[in-house]
Chain A
Amino acid sequence: MATASPSVFLLMVNGQVESAQFPEYDDLYCKYCFVYGQDWAPTAGLEEGISQITSKSQDVRQALVWNFPIDVTFKSTNPYGWPQIVLSVYGPDVFGNDVVRGYGAVHVPFSPGRHKRTIPMFVPESTSKLQKFTSLCLVASSDLQAAPPTGDKW
């Protein structure tokens, strides 16, 4: 069944940002968004969201649970630029300002079915000791201006 013209296919993503493990931080919320190539476009659902703020459970698990729904459908003609979900986690610092606690990204799974993904998160580190010290005092920490684009890393 070879077709000469490009054919459109749909990708439906349902799921949730379930929980996180951050041993050092508490009272966190997360933002998700999708990054995709030029041939892709969302047709239904929300492509970004902000979760509630959650605190660590008191038991030994120390889990931060969001249970935050993800529901989006993409349409495309080309697998190149397959969508990635980009997660940013924020929490308060000593002075109560919102500071980034982690960024992470993963490709949306390629095969139909149920998948569980654990995403490692990282935070940009200050390059000099002086900047580390001033970032403790000032509001702005070393933050990324926009969500990391596909294929580029700092």
Chain B
Amino acid sequence: YTAGGSSGAAKVVAAGLLTVGGGVGGTILYAKWDHKFRAAVENNVPYSDWLLGLALGPAYQGDIMKQVRMDSQHVWVIIADSVVAPHTELPLRERPVEEVAARLAQQDQKEQDTLSSVSASLEECLASSAKATLQAIGAQEAAVQAITQHIHKLKEAMEAEVPPPEKSSQWKDLEAALADRTSAVNDAETALLKAKEALDSLKSEIDKSKGLKVSAVRPLVLAAEENLHNMVVDLDRVVTKLQSAESESKIVSQYSDLVNEAKLQFQREVSSLTPEIQANWKGLTGKLSADDLNALIAHAHRRIDQLNRELAEQRVREQIHIDASLEQQKLEDQKALEKAVLTAVQHIKEDTRLEQERKLSELREVMEAEMRTQLRRQAAAHTDHVQDVLKVQEQELRADAEQVLGSKLLEQETSYRQLSQEQLDNFTLDMNTAYARLKGMEEAIDSHVVAEEEARKAHQLWLSVEALNYSLKMADADSPTMPLESAAQAVRDSCHDNDFALALATALPEESLQRGVYSEASLRARFNALRALVRRVALVDETHNSLYQYFLSYLQAALLFEAKQEAPPGQLCSEDLDPFRLLSYASFCLEHGDLELAAKLVNQLRGEARRVVEDWLTEARLTLETRQVVSLLSAYANAVGLGTTQAP
């Protein structure tokens, strides 16, 4: 490799390593900082958890959770801070219904109390103010009335040309009227003051109650305000009336004053002229003399001249005066207008305000009603929703509970069933075992009994077979045994359920049963006797049976000698079939107790020898049969007995 190539490869390798190392390091660092990232990496990249654990230590299991909890706590704290102070101990804890209700009740109660108090106070104030106002109005009216009366009277008094006594009475009336008026005005003033006071107090009360910010009070307040306004309006009206009346009266009074002044002047003049005359119109009429009258007239003339001059002057200054008075009047009018305008504006403002307030209150009521309906609707909707949710929840919970209940019940039932089944099984098992044992015991007993029975039967059989055997053996030399019938019957009786033995027992030959069998010894003896005879008729058979043959066979028998006994060979050949041979074999066998072989051998005889031996053979066969059967029976009995005998 070239150096450049190797350095190039090294460069590539180094760059790759750097990249990988940088990536891993960056991942680790970032994982150290951001736990969620770490968790994500650990989840997605295999073996990263090992690596990160190696690098940073085990990840906080609760870290993320803690963060989240901390965040939420911060949020809660923030919310808690923003909430009113009493709620800081547990943020956003839903106040229990009772507390809320209590609070609401308390609030309601308070409202009611304030309402009642406010209404009471308002009513009181209203009442008092109304009274005062009415009083004031009445007083004002009275004052107005008095004023008008006074003015009227004054006018009357001034203009009416009535006789002096009446004039004095008129003047008296006037004075009375004036006094009335003054008193009335004073009364009116005081009443007005009182009314104003009352109204002020009412206003303050209204303001106070307005300041309470209780909504229920508002209509009352509004009504009170309206009343106040009305009263104020009335009062003002009356006051304006009074004022107008007063102004009118002022004019009139001014006029009357002027007149009075003039009169006084005149009087003074007159009195100056005539000092003894009282300045009393009424008294004047009867007491004046002619001089006085002339003086008076002269005075009057002078006065008239003066007055004319004044009038002319006045006429000259009329315009100016009029202008000035007009100005004054304008000013006053302006003032009055302003005042009236002000009051009217105030009234209108008040009116509008009241109207506004009324409208507002109406609107508020309407709004309240609407809001109430909306709230009611919302409440209804909420209740509906809550009902629905509750229903659903109820269903869910019911389903859950039912499920749980069902599963629990099922569990319980299955466990109970299991238990009961177990119990039953155990019981059954016990019962079965007990029963089995009982059955076993019964069977054992039965088998014992059966075995005993069997043993007994076997014993009996054996005994009977032994008896049979014995009776077989107990045979005399020449006579047959007793008939085996009884013994056989006994055997048959003792084995009537055993087929084998029964078969065997029935297999006994009839002859043996009826007549008995010959013993071996007798047979032997008989054979010995027979032997001679058989020897003598050895040559006689079917074909050779003349007397000559007889003679020859007799001759043979006399001349032939054979061995007395000869052991028979295993197999007979044709030479052994010679009767003499056979006889010797048979004799041998008989001597050795082998009746069977002897019978077999004897069976080989033919011809006359055979005929002679026939009976013996039959007897031998019988005996052999019986003996065989008996031996079988005894063997069987022995076997059975052995089988049933219990080894100690």
Do A and B interact with each other, yes or no?
Answer: no
Query: Which positions in B face A, CB cutoff 8 Å?
Result: none
